[in-house]
Amino acid sequence: MAPVPERSQPHDAATYRFQRSDLMRAPRPPGISAFVRTRDGGAFLEAAIRSHIDHFDEIVVVHNQCTDDTPAILARLQNEFGERLPVFEYGPRVYPPGSVQHASEPADSVHSLVNYYNFSLARTRFAVALKLDDDHIANGPEVARVTRRIRTEGIPRNEIWCFSGINIARDPAGAIGVPGVAPVVGLGDHGFFRVDETTHFTRDPRFERFRAPGRKRVFTGVLYWHLKYLKPGHGFANYGIEAGDNQRYRRKRDRYLANRTVMSIAELRAMAPAAERALRFGIPTEKRRLKLGLWRAIAAGVVDDGALADVVRSLVLSDEAAGLRAEPSRAQG
């Protein structure tokens, strides 16, 4: 691990307005910074941090308007990990992606998701950064492989090393497995990149969008298990759905709730050949290339049911009455 450099960026979130120069206020030494934005992420935040922290030089966590035990969890972990776990509070209300407020809020407003993301990125200190979520559990061997390569070879300045994950969910009977309606996640929105004044988030009316002009997204692995659907409210509690302000995520939630079948990793792997064949045809777009890399990795067995069982046991997510999905089932959706 690299020595942790002094942090010199401003961090008064109440008045913060992102400027690209904030990303390079101090020289960035070799190393890897992860940054996590969280609101009421207490369900899996500690597990997410513990599964990743040995792979990076720091994990910067920025929490926003938490009403659960997230701040207490972070205080305890910061006491344990010290400077490897810098923690900040972003106090202003942040409008969620997909909401009508986000669609009209200027990107440099303190209430903008974009400003919040850029504030978090600007808190990092090392040359390479990546965005993590509070419900990501590391696929340890793959994270180790990629970070070892970054430390030995480096990332070309014209590339972003993207990574994907496998969703985990419960069916209505309580069995845990891969949801048929959305088995995989992450097609370009998570990746390792070299930080400079061009790497930042911008506003799309639907969500935040990461910009890194002139850089090609390259698939690098299946690096995490995604626990969104196991969170309170199936992971949709923070989107303002019940207030009627977020039809985009209401549709996503309703689609998930309409089909809660789950399958095993073996069943997911059996889907890979057909997915690969379908992706070989058509215009070779960046997203298509990322999807092809993802399904090839699944076909190669980078995740299996044994690894999923280890995650479930480590998180105490199931018992004998509500265990893993082991028998074949038909994935719908």
| Banded pLDDT at 3 (limits 50, 70, 90) | low
Domain boundaries of the chain, sorted by first residue: 13-314
pLDDT 10s digits, 253-312: 999 999 999 999 999 999 999 999 999 887 789 999 999 999 999 999 999 999 999 999
Residue 86 pLDDT = 97
Residue 13 pLDDT = 84
Residue 9 pLDDT = 56
Residue 59 pLDDT = 98
Q: How many CB atoms lie within 10 A of CB 159?
A: 17
Structure letter (DSSP) for residue 147? H
What is the Cα–Cα distance from 118 to 152, expressed in whole angstroms?
28
What is the Cα–Cα distance from 7 to 182, expressed in whole angstroms?
39
State pTM to two decimals: 0.92
| Banded pLDDT at 26 (limits 50, 70, 90) | confident
Helix, strand, coil tally for the chain in percent (to 5): 35, 20, 45
Q: Which residues lie closer than 8 Å to 264 by C-beta, 6 or more apart?
A: 177, 178, 305, 308, 324, 325, 326, 327, 328
Taking the domain 13-314, which CATH number applies?
3.90.550
* pLDDT at 321 > cutoff 80: no
What is the Cα–Cα distance from 18 to 121, expressed in whole angstroms?
10
* pLDDT at 4 > cutoff 70: no
Q: What's the average model confidence in pLDDT over 318-328?
A: 45
Token pair belonging to 72 = 């207490």
Residue 107 pLDDT = 94
Distances (CA, A) of 33 to 156, 192, 195, 304: 17, 9, 10, 28
Burial of residue 285, with CB atoms counted within 10 A of its CB: 0-12 exposed, 13-18 middle, 19 or more buried = exposed
What value does the mean pLDDT of the chain take? 91
* pLDDT at 320 > cutoff 80: no
What is the Cα–Cα distance from 126 to 56, expressed in whole angstroms?
10
pLDDT 10s digits, 33-90: 999 999 999 999 999 999 999 999 999 999 999 999 999 999 999 999 999 999 999 9
Q: What's the average model confidence in pLDDT over 174-188?
A: 94
Residue 280 pLDDT = 83
Total count of residues recorded for the chain: 333
Beta-sheet pairing, 216-226 with 136-138? antiparallel
Poorest-pLDDT segment among 6-15, 160-169, 257-266, 306-315: 6-15
